[in-house]
């Protein structure tokens, strides 16, 4: 009797490995956006090895690092410039500003464009004491046709004295905002007296502050946004409007607010999504809501509408293939082993 039982046990052990499903390798997350060294499309950035004509200038200038932020379509930032007089007497000092394509100077520094020199301005001109400095604060703004993220470029400044002698340009870096993750969650109550209220929650899942975003609402005929202000800015593909949220949103913080819709006719479907769309590294930036008429004429308790975030994972499918076969074989082997043990026990009793 011992030998048949050993055979049965060996059969079970040989089948069990087939019943063990393979461990799925977790999908790797999207890589963090790298800070590309490319410049926006258009003319190249000023050469890092360029030198201005003339040397021995007594006026020098230095610019600081620029981080563009704010409106994602036209981010801006200050550019501090320090002009130094290395001479022994007080003198007026200028500086030549050169910027890459896609960036303009809009304020500060008394700047004037240099004729015949694209992306070049002459700025300053104030009196600088001997051995002293004078500071300027310019405003730079991105003028690219489309929103730009994760890009850096180089500009330069070069001091110029009253004799027209200009020092070699000193470079400074310009950083566009990085891409980040922004999560949209929205629910809607029933349509009561022709009004539906959408509860919106936008969470900055990134680690740094962002300087505003837009919530686009695409609406069918019979639906319009009444609050907050929602303008058709021409940046939408289709019918709808854009709600601009211009305040800063800190990393891990949530922006919660309501969107009121005027609804006429039967059931309608609206879509909400975050913009600019090329800014976000996650997929849950879009929600589709179905507007249904509620019962009664008062303000009943709102019920969550069927929100469908884009990129939601599909439901898990039933297990098929070798995993199921393995479980079946293991079950059969265990039944056989149990029968053998029962038969062995009866024979022992009879003995």
pLDDT, position 256: 98
- Per-residue pLDDT of 256-287, as tens digits, reads 999 999 999 888 999 999 999 999 999 999 99
Q: Among residues of the chain, what percentage have pLDDT more than 70?
A: 67
- Cis peptide bond N-terminal to 25, omega within 30: no
* Whole-number Cα distances in Å, 190 to 4, 286, 292, 295, 301: 70, 20, 6, 8, 9
d(CA 328, CA 92): 91
Helix residue ranges, H only, 171-252: none
pLDDT, position 339: 63
Question: Which architecture does CATH list for 59-175?
Answer: Sandwich (2.60)
Residue that wins the pLDDT comparison between 25 and 4: 4
SS3 140: strand
- Per-residue pLDDT at 40 exceeds 70: no
* Whole-number Cα distances in Å, 195 to 184, 201, 264, 269, 271: 22, 20, 9, 14, 17
- Per-residue pLDDT of 299-346, as tens digits, reads 333 333 334 443 333 333 233 344 444 444 455 555 565 666 665 566
pLDDT, position 242: 92
By C-alpha distance, which of 347, 202, 227 is closest to 286?
202
pLDDT, position 49: 33
Domains 59-175 and 182-291 share a fold: yes
Question: Which architecture does CATH list for 182-291?
Answer: Sandwich (2.60)
- Per-residue pLDDT at 150 exceeds 90: yes
- Per-residue pLDDT at 224 exceeds 60: yes
SS3 89: coil
Calculate mean pLDDT across residues 81-110: 96
Q: Among residues of the chain, what percentage have pLDDT more than 90?
A: 59
217-234 b/e (C-beta count within 10 Å ≥ 16 → b): bbbeeebbbeeeebeeee
Q: Where are the domains of the chain?
A: 59-175, 182-291
Calculate mean pLDDT across residues 64-88: 95
- Per-residue pLDDT of 194-216, as tens digits, reads 999 999 999 999 999 998 899 99
Residues 6+ apart with CB under 8 A from 200: 184, 185, 186, 215, 255, 256, 257, 258, 259, 272
Calculate mean pLDDT across residues 142-146: 93
- Token output for 66: 């620029």
pLDDT, position 349: 55
How much is the pTM?
0.66
pLDDT, position 310: 39
- Per-residue pLDDT at 161 exceeds 90: yes
DSSP secondary-structure letter at 123? E
- Per-residue pLDDT at 13 exceeds 60: no
């Amino acid at each position: 009797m011992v030998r048949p039982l050993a055979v049965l046990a060996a059969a079970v052990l040989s089948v069990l490995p087939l019943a063990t499903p393979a461990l799925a390798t977790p999908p790797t997350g999207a890589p963090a956006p790298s800070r590309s060294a490319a410049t926006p499309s258009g003319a190249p950035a000023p050469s890092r090895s360029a030198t201005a004509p003339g040397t021995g200038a007594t006026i020098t200038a230095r610019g600081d690092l620029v981080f563009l932020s704010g409106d994602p379509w036209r981010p801006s930032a200050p550019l501090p410039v320090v002009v130094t007089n290395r001479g022994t007497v007080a003198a007026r000092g200028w500086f030549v500003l050169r910027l890459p394509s896609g960036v303009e100077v809009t304020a500060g520094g008394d700047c004037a464009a240099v004729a015949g020199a694209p992306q070049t301005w002459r700025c300053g001109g104030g009196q600088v004491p001997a051995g002293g400095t004078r500071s300027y604060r310019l405003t730079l703004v991105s003028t690219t046709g489309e929103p730009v993220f994760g890009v850096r470029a180089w500009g330069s400044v070069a001091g110029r004295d009253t004799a027209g002698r200009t020092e070699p340009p000193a470079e400074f870096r310009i950083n566009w905002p990085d891409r980040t993750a922004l999560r949209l969650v929205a629910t809607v109550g029933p349509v009561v007296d022709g009004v539906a209220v959408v509860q919106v929650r936008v969470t900055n899942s990134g680690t740094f502050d962002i300087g505003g975003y837009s919530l686009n609402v695409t609406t069918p005929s019979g639906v319009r946004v009444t609050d907050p202000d929602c303008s058709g800015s021409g940046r939408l593909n289709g019918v709808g409007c854009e709600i601009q949220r211009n305040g800063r949103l800190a990393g891990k913080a949530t922006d919660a607010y309501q969107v009121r819709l005027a609804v006429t006719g039967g059931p309608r479907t609206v879509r909400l999504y975050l913009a600019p769309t090329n800014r976000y590294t996650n997929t849950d930036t879009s929600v589709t809501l179905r507007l249904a008429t509620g019962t009664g004429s008062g303000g009943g308790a709102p019920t969550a509408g069927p929100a469908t975030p884009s990129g939601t994972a599909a439901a898990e499918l039933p297990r098929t293939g070798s995993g199921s076969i393995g479980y079946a074989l293991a079950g059969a082997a265990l039944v056989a082993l149990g029968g053998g043990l029962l038969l062995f026990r009866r024979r022992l009793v009879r003995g």
